[in-house]
Structure 1
Amino acid sequence: MQQARFLTDQRLINTTDYLSAAEHYRGLLLCPLCSEKAWFIKAVNSDSLNRAACFGAHHQDGCEAATLRLNAENDVNPGQKADTVREPSARYAPAGLWQSIKAPQLGGSDGYDVNSALRQLLSHLCRNADFAAQGQKVQLLAASGRELIAGKLADYVVHVNDISDKHLEALYIFWGRINNVNEREFDNPDDDELWLNIGDYRKEPSVFIDADLRRSLVKRFNLADLDALSGADFILLGHAGKSAHGKFTLHFAMSKYIAFRHYSISST
């Protein structure tokens, strides 16, 4: 997709426009035809791939603006036409983990790896947003054995569009889709920030990641380019805060408490 619609004034912009004022346009782009959220994709020039800069989106079925395909490994819908994403292989918890009414505990010395379990739960939620409303129960323990959450899974799983004041300061499992990534650099690298934005960073929820957690995240997920998280689905175990302007911000303590469903890009 070589053009995107700027939400503020509805005009069409191209990739040159975006690069000239990325902060102005970030999180405020839509597909011109189906109006799904769009994001900027950098140009790639290498021995194996040459791709011009463009815009991506998870288009609605049949949208003729889609020029790329987004494929999620193990989650591909053969009939889907979209600006596409393929996931790297992931370690999954046993298949029955989230299908049992009384799911086994997560984490702890006798439980499943919490990162793998979150990744599998995310995969289920992406297929069926109401997956957690089937009566499952969850107990999640820290490595020390301390209980983090316990009870009905449905009471703890919150989509980013459904965050409200009742979710503030308590531990929940939040999930949704990242639209754009914003790295903020300061004179002291220890003050650097990474923001994973759901859309408009001024109003819509964002995931905040400080410099230390960013380094851990890059290492755990082997993220050579953080912009690759644009368009990805995510799930995290953490807390929600709220700014004076009413914007919700998500925070998590360690990189094992977040997981992603990445997409690879290919031509349609």
Structure 2
Amino acid sequence: MQQARLLTDQRLISTADYLNAAEHYRGLLLCPLCGEKAWFIKAVNNDSLNRAACFGAHHQQGCEAATIRLSTADETTPATDNNNSLREPAARYAPAGLWQSIKAPQLGGADGFEVNSALRQLLSHLCRNAAFAAQGQKLQLLAASGRELIAGKLADYVVHIDDIGDKHLEALYIFWGRINNVNEREFDNPDEDELWLNIGDYRKEPGIFIDADLRRSLVKRFNLTDLDALCGADVILLGHAGKSAHGKFTLHIAMSKYIAFRRYGISN
């Protein structure tokens, strides 16, 4: 898309408008036709690719505004940027029976699955079926030391980011949803820099807070040469929710292994 609709006053915004005032538009853009959340995609001009700046979105079925194709590493073939058309091979979702049994194995610990890989697999299940966790599965999650962090029904601990409420404050949960935009805030002291992975409007909608140390760890763990690659990605994390004085929910993780992404590649 070369234009997106501004949520606040319904104006159409061009990519040039966005570049001139990104802070004013970030998290407030919609597809002009289907109304799904949109995000800005930078231009690329190198030896292998020449693509103009545009807006991306996970469009509703049949939306004619889609001008790029989105696909995930879960797919065997590329798909359109219509989220309903994504196809994922079932074989990717049942190694060692993880999440398949009410006696599902633990996450973490010497005898368990590596927590980041397990979270990534759970995210793939949830993206295919948002009600996946409500099938009676049980969960035990251990710290590397063997200390039990979570134990019980999976459904009691999996929370979509859109459903966060005061009852989820301060306790440990598995949150999942979709990142809309990325906002890096730089300060005079680099150790105070912040990274926000926002679900939408950074002023009101939930955001994931990443401090400077976690940012460095995140970039290394996921080989992120460009943090904007997380725009439009699905995300899952094991962490705590807080709430600002303005009523915005914020999500926090202790280490980069407690977050995983399902990123979308772009092709014309």
Q: Is the TM value for this pair above 0.5?
A: yes
Match of 2:27 in 1: 27
State the 1:72 CA deviation: 1.2
The Cα shift of 1:96 comes to: 1.3
RMSD (Å) for aligned C-alpha atoms: 2.0
Could you report, residue by residue, the CA deviation over 1:82-118 in whole angstroms, capped at 9, with x for unpaired residues?
Answer: 399999xxx9882510111110111000101000000
Q: Percent identity of the aligned residues? A: 85
Confirm whether residue 52 of structure 1 aligns to residue 28 of structure 2.
no
* Equivalent position amino acid for 1:146 in 2: R
Instruction: Give a deviation string over 1:7-47, Cα, whole Å, max 9, x none.
Output: 11001010000001000000000000000000000000111
Structure 2 stretches lacking a partner, 5+ long: none
**1:65, 1:184 → 2: CA distance?**
32
Partner of 2:203: 202
Per-residue displacement from partner, 1:40-68 (whole Å, max 9, x unpaired)?
A: 00000111101000000000010000000
Letter in 2 for 1:190: D
User: What is the TM-score normalised by the length of structure 2?
Assistant: 0.94
1:80-95 to 2 correspondence within 5 Å? 80-82=80-82, 94-95=95-96
Structure 2: how far apart are the matches of 1:244 and 1:51?
41
Partner of 1:248: 249
> Is the CA contact (8 Å cut-off) linking 1:168 and 1:241 kept in structure 2?
yes
Q: Does 1:73 pair with 2:35?
A: no
Q: Secondary structure at the match of 1:150?
A: strand
Q: What pairs with 1:90-105 in structure 2 (closer than 5 Å)? A: 94-105=95-106
> Could you tell which deviates more after superposition, 204-213 or 67-76?
67-76
Kept in 2: contact 1:241–1:249 (CA 8 A): yes
**CA distance in 1: counterparts of 2:190 and 2:169, whole angstroms:** 29
Query: What is the CA–CA distance in structure 1 between the aligned matches of 2:79 and 2:43, rounded to whole Å?
Result: 27
The one-letter code matched in structure 2 to 1:226 is: L
Q: What amino acid is the match of 1:13?
A: I
1:67–1:82 CA contact under 8 A, matched in 2: no
Equivalence for 1:237 = 238
The 2-side partners of 1:175 and 1:68 are apart by 25
| Cα distance, 1:126–1:51 mapped onto 2, change above 3 Å | same
Counterpart in the other structure of 1:37:
37
Letter in 2 for 1:24: H
Q: CA 1:86/1:62 → structure 2, altered by over 3 Å: closer, same or farther?
A: closer
The amino acid across from 1:40 in the alignment is F
Structure 1 residue 130, shift from structure 2 partner: 0.2
- What's the CA shift string for 1:172-206, capped at 9, x where partnerless? 00000000000000000000000000000010000
How far did 1:80 drift? Answer: 4.7
Find the residue that maps to 1:199 and give its secondary structure.
Answer: coil
Cα displacement (A) at 1:79: 6.9
Secondary structure in 1 matching 2:95: coil
1:226 aligned partner = 227
Contact 1:72 1:86 in 2 (8 A): no
State the alpha-carbon separation in 2 of the partners of residues 136 and 186 from structure 1. 44
Unmatched tracts of structure 1, length 5 or more: none
Matched residues in 2 for 1:196 and 1:181: separation? 5
Higher relative CO (Cα under 8 Å, sequence separation at least 6) belongs to 1
Is the contact made by 1:136 and 1:152 (CA closer than 8 Å) also made in structure 2? yes
Q: Does 1:265 align with 2:266?
A: yes
